[in-house]
Amino acid sequence: MSTATAIAEYNPVEAGLEALRARYADVAFDLRSTKGNQEARAARKDLVTLRTSLDAKRKELKEPILERAKLIDSEAKRITAELLKLEKPIDDAIKADELRRERERKEREAAEAKRVARLQDSIQAITATALRAVGKHSTEIADEIEALQAFEIGADYDEFRAGAQAAKDSTLSQLYTLYGAALTNEQEAARLAMERAEFARQQAEAAALAEERAAALAEQQRVERERLEAERTEQARKDAQARAEQAEQDRIEREARAAQQGKEDAE
């Protein structure tokens, strides 16, 4: 078995290890006997001695390395500090520029979002015109049509220009439909209003005529009642006069009969 190691200084220890391995590997000591106990202790001492010699060699080999490592670290720290004196202003400037770029990017994004929202709101306002016109008078709808026709879809609409134009055309079409429907309804309402007014006039005329006829009939009935009353009064007068004349005639006849009877009685 080779006794060479990666650390040449450890080769003697490695050789000692090989010797001790040959001597003590798989050895069972009778620790109950004095001899066996002594042999076990001697074996442990050999191994401890070799191990401590290895540790001593390790420290011996490592000490100059540790010193150099400290020197390496301290020099690196010093040089790093000097480099940072040069690096930091440049790094600060770069970071400040990066912050500026990021701020400007966010400002551009905010401006873009605002622009898009403004254009979308404008398109929404165009389409809302038709909803706003529902139920309005035809003159108001005509005003909406005129205003929308005059509204220009400018170049500032950019990528939304086609959509805005489509919204304008569609809304105008709806407004024309609403205008026609409103005008038809208004004309029909006017016709019905005229018919109702004419019917009311005819009703009023009929009521006035009926009132006149009722008044004439009442007057006729009054005159008829007065005529009948006068006739009844005249008839009553005539009847009373006839009764009076009859009574006078009866009296005269009674007196005549009484006188005749008295004459006869006297004779």
* Confidence at residue 254, expressed as pLDDT on a 0 to 100 scale: 87
Q: What is the pLDDT of residues 144-168, one digit of tens each?
A: 999 999 999 888 888 988 999 999 9
Q: What is the pLDDT of residues 65-76, one digit of tens each?
A: 888 889 888 988
Tell me the backbone φ, ψ of residue 107, rounded to 5 degrees. -65, -40
**CB–CB of 160/127 below 8 Å?**
no
Q: pLDDT-derived band of residue 139, with 50, 70 and 90 as boundaries?
A: very high
What is the average pLDDT across 179-198? Answer: 93
Q: How far is CA 233 from CA 86, 218, 222, 226, 228, in A?
A: 147, 22, 16, 10, 8
**CB–CB of 124/116 below 8 Å?**
no
Q: What is the pLDDT of residues 222-255, one digit of tens each?
A: 899 998 999 899 899 888 988 898 888 888 888 8
Measure CA 94 to chain center: 45
Q: Which of 110, 122, 107 minimizes the C-alpha distance to 157?
A: 122
Q: How far is CA 168 from CA 121, 122, 164, in A?
A: 13, 11, 6
Q: How far apart are CA 67 and CA 77, in angstroms?
A: 15
* Confidence at residue 91, expressed as pLDDT on a 0 to 100 scale: 92
Instruction: Look at residue 140 and tell me whether its pLDDT is greater than 90.
Output: yes
Q: Which of 140, 124, 215 minimizes the C-alpha distance to 175?
A: 140
Q: pLDDT-derived band of residue 1, with 50, 70 and 90 as boundaries?
A: very low
* Confidence at residue 190, expressed as pLDDT on a 0 to 100 scale: 93
